[in-house]
Amino acid sequence: MNAGDLRHRVTLEKPVRSSDGAGGATVEWQSVADVWAAIWPRAAGEHFASDRLTGTATHDIWIRHRKDVTPDMRVRQGNRIFAILGAIDFEDRSRWLKCPSEERDL
């Protein structure tokens, strides 16, 4: 990974849950930080969900190392949303963070 690969400006977001007053909760997304990222496609596939065919695209998103990134967060790039599936400290050197992700619909 080279710093020049970080060509996408993205926003890290975390979920904020609040009571809906009826015993449930609503989730809103709060911006954590704007960072530069490299987004590399990994795989694409199809599967059936709710009796219809849907597509899935997975990516590896690389950013400079941060300690506050967790798998319940997501990455937003414009109108694209990527659910973070993991946060891997590449080579255990606290230099790069590799986030396997899945692209989701808004």
Domains within the chain, CATH numbers bracketed: 3-104 (2.40.10.270)
pLDDT computed for residue 13 by the predictor: 98
Per residue of the chain (106 residues), what is the pLDDT tens digit? 787 899 999 999 999 998 888 888 899 999 999 999 999 999 877 766 667 776 778 999 999 999 999 999 999 999 999 999 999 999 899 999 999 999 987 6
- Return the half-sphere exposure (C-beta side, CA atoms, 13 A cut-off) of residue 98: 15
Residue-wise pLDDT tens digits, 49-64: 667 776 778 999 999 9
CA dist list (Å): 3 to 31, 37, 67, 69, 96: 23, 9, 19, 19, 10
